[in-house]
Amino acid sequence: MLKRWHWIDGRFVEKNELRVPARLLGLLRGWAIFDYFLSVEGELSPITDLYLDRFYSSASRLNLEIPLSREDLIGLLRELVSLNGGIQAFRLLLSAGDSSDGWNPDSKPVLMIFSEAINEVSEQWFEYGISLKTYEFLRPLPEVKTTFYVVGKLAQLDANTDDVLFVYGSNVLETPRSNIFFVKDGALITAGANVLKGITRKLVIEIAQEEGLEVIERDVPLNSISDMEGAFITGTTKPIIPVRQIDSVKYDVSRVKELLDSLRDALWERTGLNLKNMVSGMLND
């Protein structure tokens, strides 16, 4: 659900005034990036800069120039926090400009900042975990947060499960919007390549290492997941959600509950975001 105020290409607008040129290359050719992160009550999250780092990096990789300084962008985000009030999710979207020939931009990139309510986490997932079904796919430019999510969405619609898990070349990669970790012999194991290295993933790795846990970033063969003690996913709105099943492989969520609770408590302390207390409702994006 959209909040009242947003920022589109140079001005604040209300949600019923959201308009962009019809021939943006983000629409015509998928030449666009985005990022998504949360505020805390009445102010920006203390990890906002990590998301902006990724946003600017993604823009550079796609040869898109963000038409604002970082300082000005932070100022706009703070103003939206003030205008809309409460806790909100920001969706930053940057598209290559308007195009008359459908291939070359005639204008500078267009920046949009949408302010949204948070409504993605099922409270039951924290206790009972989620079910995943594998799907063969490697995202193009996997370490860049582009707007190309259609394969993941279509796969999810066909899967008849909570979400899908991308695999490629017999290796486990990520879900369409989350990273995945496996637990074995007290260590955390996660894919080290061909995935979007999420901000929550980064924080979980740091926290785990600070708590003396070994973190291994490497290829994770699909045929090895039955040997794991458990698994969990991480994402901006899915902070350390246990996995109860991948295809026919089932995990006893209780085996890793103490570990995940400890990591999640440390994550929430660092970010100021306790999503379990903030929202309850099924995945809705």
**Structural domain boundaries in the chain:** 5-116, 123-276
- Whether 266 and 259 have beta carbons less than 8 Å apart is answered as no
Taking the CA atoms of residue 203, residue 170, residue 285 and residue 17 in that order, the dihedral angle to the nearest 10 degrees is 90
Architecture of domain 5-116: 2-Layer Sandwich (3.30)
Superfamily of domain 123-276: D-amino Acid Aminotransferase, subunit A, domain 2 (3.20.10.10)
**What is the Cα–Cα distance from 34 to 13, expressed in whole angstroms?**
19
195 token code pair = 């995935």
**What is the Cα–Cα distance from 228 to 184, expressed in whole angstroms?**
5
Per-residue pLDDT of the chain (285 residues; tens, 9 = 90+): 899 999 999 999 999 999 999 999 999 999 999 999 999 989 999 999 999 999 999 999 999 999 999 999 999 999 999 999 999 999 999 999 999 999 999 999 999 999 999 876 788 899 999 999 999 999 999 999 999 999 999 999 999 899 999 999 999 999 999 999 999 999 999 999 999 999 999 999 999 999 999 999 999 999 999 999 999 999 999 999 999 999 999 999 999 999 999 999 999 999 988 877 765 433 333
Relative orientation angle of helices 48-61 and 70-84, to the nearest 10 degrees: 130
Q: What is the 3-state secondary structure (H, E, C) of the chain?
A: CECCEEEECCEEEEHHHCCCCCCEHHHHCCCEEEEEEEEECCEECCCHHHHHHHHHHHHHHCCCCCCCCHHHHHHHHHHHHHHHCCCCEEEEEEECCECCCCCCCCCCCEEEEEEECCCCCCHHHHHHCEEEEEEECCCCCCCCCECCCHHHHHHHHHHCCCEEEEEECCEECEECCEEEEEEECCEEEECCCCCCCCHHHHHHHHHHHHCCCEEEECCEEHHHHHHCCEEEEEECCEEEEEEEEECCEECCHHHHHHHHHHHHHHHHHHHCCCHHHHCCCCCCC
